[in-house]
């Protein structure tokens, strides 16, 4: 690791250099790991990888490769593919097959990797005059997600990203919006919305001028109910120079300041996977600068094997975040897509990691909720396990739900040491279905309509 001092970085005007696709196998740092190079070449033909020189030089400890957690987070590993998928792509590459045959093998494997998790597209894209609004998602009553077209990539990629399909350009799966007007016009007719979450990819990959168009337009629209703008980003961990030395870094901070001054709550939903990402001089200074604008940094990450599957790691991360003035927010369960089998953990193990972490932390770090699954009916947290009426059960609860009346209501699943997701759990007490599966109202829009109707009738 060679950490650049801030003064050095400012002096040289640090520019981001990225390494992408199978060519990452040729990085000089990997020259001593020839056994890894072929694996990297094969896996990165199927799944998207992109790593910048800050991650390579300042976050990865090359003396600990391949087990270094940031290396595991950002570099390909053979086990990210099943043996059969790995071999089918490897044999095409090894045989020096023509590009079209390699691509055919690659495409076949990609489609087996579940590129659309949780029925996202069909159910969550809102409509206006019968037409789907591409680039928006409105699953929970208060919050609209906005995917600006220019923000659909990241400064580096996480191996576990559930957006991998759009990074490899499976076109039908791209969800993005080219104009802010669609968002504004939708919000004008959506009085329940208090929060807009700008997401991607990573919206901070955009130039400040582009981001300013979004934030300034939201402010100028004077939407009476809009109170918060959130930006989902991993820039603080993957490229803190975005806030320090990029040519428009100061403009970004001024944009944050004026959005806060206009009365918005602005939250950076910062993705941190490991305490290592909080240790460099660059990230500490970036956090300090962001906070000085009045923007609140809330932190979240999925719990993944090989990277952060240890309570002590989360405790250290949350404590460090609190010390730096960030607010721990969510610990997610890894989603059902891509190289899930490589990163996933059983829910009961996720619960153990969460519990071990939370008991070690100060109360100020216990704002972190989890382990939470972003499942089709809502965000479901595993609260614990208990024995009820002689049966061993998992205690579950909605943190967010399509039907807001479900939020907070405890429910129980039969204890299952292997289940990794909600759809792998069965209801406890011999019941056939979970309570929410029996509710005829499974969307907040229905509640709004029912309320309208009762107002009309009354």
Residues that bind ligand SF4 (CB under 6 A): 154, 157-158, 161, 163, 200-202, 234, 271
For ligand PLP, the closer of residues 30 and 125 by Cβ is 125
Enter the DSSP assignment of 177: B
For ligand SF4, the closer of residues 138 and 163 by Cβ is 163
Nearest distance in Å: CB 434, ligand PLP: 19
What is each CA distance from 354 to 23, 119, 345, 363, 369, in whole angstroms?
37, 27, 12, 14, 9
Here the tokens at position 135 are 């680039």
CA distance 441 to 1: 54
Place of tokens 């604008």: 293
Instruction: Classify 275 as helix, strand or coil.
Output: helix
201 makes contact, choosing from ligand SF4, ligand PLP, none, with CB < 5 to 8 Å by partner type, with ligand SF4
Nearest distance in Å: CB 183, ligand PLP: 14
163 makes contact, choosing from ligand PLP, ligand SF4, none, with CB < 5 to 8 Å by partner type, with ligand SF4
Measured torsion, CA atoms of residues 283, 287, 289, 290, in degrees rounded to the nearest 10: 130
415 in contact with ligand PLP (CB under 6 A): no
Nearest distance in Å: CB 142, ligand PLP: 7
Stretches 134-142, 287-295, 351-359, 433-441: which one binds ligand PLP (CB under 6 A)?
Answer: 134-142
140 makes contact, choosing from ligand SF4, ligand PLP, none, with CB < 5 to 8 Å by partner type, with ligand PLP
400 makes contact, choosing from ligand SF4, ligand PLP, none, with CB < 5 to 8 Å by partner type, with ligand PLP
Enter the DSSP assignment of 265: E
Nearest distance in Å: CB 169, ligand SF4: 15
* Region 145-164 residues binding ligand PLP, contact defined as CB under 6 A: 145
154 makes contact, choosing from ligand SF4, ligand PLP, none, with CB < 5 to 8 Å by partner type, with ligand SF4
Taking CA 350 as the corner, what is the angle to CA 347 and CA 354, rounded to the nearest 5 degrees? 140
Q: List the strands of the sheet with 378-388, edge to edge.
A: 136-140, 143-146, 195-198, 228-233, 265-271, 296-303, 327-333, 369-374, 378-388, 391-401, 410-414
For ligand SF4, the closer of residues 147 and 406 by Cβ is 147
Q: Which of 270, 341, 337, 278 is closest to 305 using CA atoms?
A: 341
Q: Does an H or E element contain 53, and which?
A: helix 53-54
For ligand SF4, the closer of residues 164 and 415 by Cβ is 164
The phi, psi pair for 50, rounded to 5°, reads -155, 125
143 in contact with ligand PLP (CB under 6 A): yes
The answer to whether the beta carbons of residues 151 and 203 sit under 8 Å apart is: yes
Q: What binding mask, one character per residue, do residues 380-399 give for ligand PLP by CB under 6 A, x or -?
A: -------------------x
For ligand PLP, the closer of residues 89 and 214 by Cβ is 214
For ligand PLP, the closer of residues 4 and 331 by Cβ is 331
Nearest distance in Å: CB 27, ligand SF4: 19
280 in contact with ligand PLP (CB under 6 A): no
Nearest distance in Å: CB 273, ligand PLP: 17
Q: Which of 381, 404, 452, 333 is closest to 139 using CA atoms?
A: 404
202 makes contact, choosing from ligand SF4, ligand PLP, none, with CB < 5 to 8 Å by partner type, with ligand SF4
For ligand PLP, the closer of residues 55 and 145 by Cβ is 145
Q: Which of 179, 257, 247, 231 is closest to 10 using CA atoms?
A: 247
CA distance 236 to 154: 12
Cis peptide preceding 168, ω within 30 of 0: no
Q: Which of 176, 246, 255 is closest to 218 using CA atoms?
A: 255
374 in contact with ligand PLP (CB under 6 A): yes
For ligand PLP, the closer of residues 150 and 374 by Cβ is 374
Give the burial class of 20: count Cβ atoms within 10 A of its Cβ; 0-12 exposed, 13-18 middle, 19 or more buried: middle
For ligand PLP, the closer of residues 97 and 121 by Cβ is 121
243 makes contact, choosing from ligand SF4, ligand PLP, none, with CB < 5 to 8 Å by partner type, with none
Options 49, 54, 75, 140; binder of ligand PLP; rule CB under 6 A: 140
Q: Going by C-beta distance under 8 Å and a sequence separation of 6 or more, which residues neighbour residue 443?
A: 402, 403
137 in contact with ligand PLP (CB under 6 A): yes
Options 72, 139, 340, 397; binder of ligand PLP; rule CB under 6 A: 139
Binding residues for ligand PLP, rule: CB under 6 A, are 137, 139-140, 143, 145, 197, 374, 379, 399-400
């Amino acid at each position: 690791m060679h950490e650049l001092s801030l003064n050095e970085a400012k002096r040289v005007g640090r520019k981001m250099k990225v390494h992408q696709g199978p060519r990452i196998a040729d990085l000089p740092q990997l020259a001593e790991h020839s056994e890894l190079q072929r694996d990297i070449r094969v896996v990165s033909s199927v799944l998207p990888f992109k790593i910048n020189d800050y991650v390579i030089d300042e976050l990865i400890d090359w003396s600990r490769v391949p087990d270094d957690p940031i290396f595991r987070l950002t570099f390909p590993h053979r086990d990210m593919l099943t043996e059969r998928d790995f071999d089918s792509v490897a044999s095409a590459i090894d045989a020096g097959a023509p590009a079209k045959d390699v691509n055919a093998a690659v495409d076949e494997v990609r489609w087996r990797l579940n590129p659309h998790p949780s029925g996202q597209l069909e159910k969550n894209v809102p409509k206006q005059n019968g037409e789907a609004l591409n680039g928006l998602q409105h699953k929970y009553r208060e919050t609209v997600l906005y995917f600006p077209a220019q923000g659909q990539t990241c400064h580096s990629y996480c191996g576990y990203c559930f957006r991998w399909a759009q990074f490899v350009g499976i076109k039908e799966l791209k969800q993005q919006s080219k104009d802010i007007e669609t968002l504004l016009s939708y919000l004008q007719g959506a009085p329940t919305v208090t929060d807009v979450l700008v997401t991607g990819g990573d919206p901070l990959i955009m130039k400040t001028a582009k981001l300013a168009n979004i934030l300034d337009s939201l402010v100028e629209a004077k939407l009476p109910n809009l109170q918060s703008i959130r930006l989902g980003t991993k820039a603080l961990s993957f490229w803190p120079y975005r806030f320090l030395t990029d040519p428009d870094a100061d403009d970004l901070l001024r944009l944050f300041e004026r959005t806060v001054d206009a009365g918005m709550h602005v939250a950076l939903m910062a993705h941190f996977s490991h305490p290592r990402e909080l240790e460099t001089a660059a990230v500490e200074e970036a956090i300090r600068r962001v906070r000085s604008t009045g923007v609140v940094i809330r932190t979240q990450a999925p719990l993944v094997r090989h990277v952060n599957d240890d309570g002590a790691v989360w405790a250290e991360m949350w404590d460090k975040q609190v010390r730096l003035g960030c607010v721990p927010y969510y610990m997610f369960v890894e989603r059902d897509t891509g190289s899930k089998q490589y990163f996933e953990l059983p829910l009961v193990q996720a619960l153990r990691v969460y519990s071990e972490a939370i008991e070690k932390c100060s109360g100020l770090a216990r704002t972190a909720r989890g382990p939470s699954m972003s499942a089709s009916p809502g965000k479901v947290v595993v609260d614990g396990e208990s024995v009820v009426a002689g049966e061993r059960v998992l205690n579950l609860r909605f943190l967010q739900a399509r039907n807001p009346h479900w939020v907070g209501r405890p429910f129980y699943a039969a204890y299952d040491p292997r289940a990794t997701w909600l759809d792998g759990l069965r209801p406890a007490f011999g019941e056939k279905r979970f309570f929410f599966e029996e509710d005829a109202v499974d969307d907040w829009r229905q509640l709004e309509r029912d309320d309208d109707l009762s107002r009309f009738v009354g």
